[in-house]
Amino acid sequence: MADVQRQTSSLGHQRSALGQLIKIPTRPNRYTYLNAHIDLSIWGKLLNFLYKIPPLSIEIHVRGLNPVRYKLIRQTAKDGLLVSHYVDEISDIEALYAGPVQANIEAIRIVGNSFIYKNEIKLEFMTASND
């Protein structure tokens, strides 16, 4: 099996806030990934130590569809999320592997309790070849 290595490059860093709509930068024939750093507030750290805290959510705005919302695990968000292509079914994954597919996610929104999470979110967008 051949070892495939994708060329990645940064699309830049930015800051956002909980609940703010975040436009997804895209490039033709490229995947866009997001590393999102979402920190706990002091109260969130205390509650996390004592009890399970409420999760974050990610609202995905897909071209031509109503927004969809999923649970977002904070530790996973900092490791990279595919944010250019919405994958809902097995056929969507097959299409991604078959070759270049036009990006269909226009924006996302990260939602969480501002008592638990710091309002500021640090974002880094990365791009990689999808051919």
**Domain coordinates in residue numbering, the chain:** 9-129
Q: What is the pTM for the complete model shown?
A: 0.84
| CATH number for the segment(s) 9-129 | 2.60.120
Neighbour count for residue 26 (Cβ, 10 Å)? 20
| 102 phi and psi angles, rounded to 5 deg | -65, 135
In this predicted model, what pLDDT tens digit does every residue of 90-130 receive, in sequence order?
988 888 888 777 889 999 999 999 999 999 999 999 998 86
State mean pLDDT over 44-60: 92
Return the sign of the alpha-carbon dihedral for residues 93, 57, 52, 114: positive
Give the 3-state secondary structure of residue 39. strand
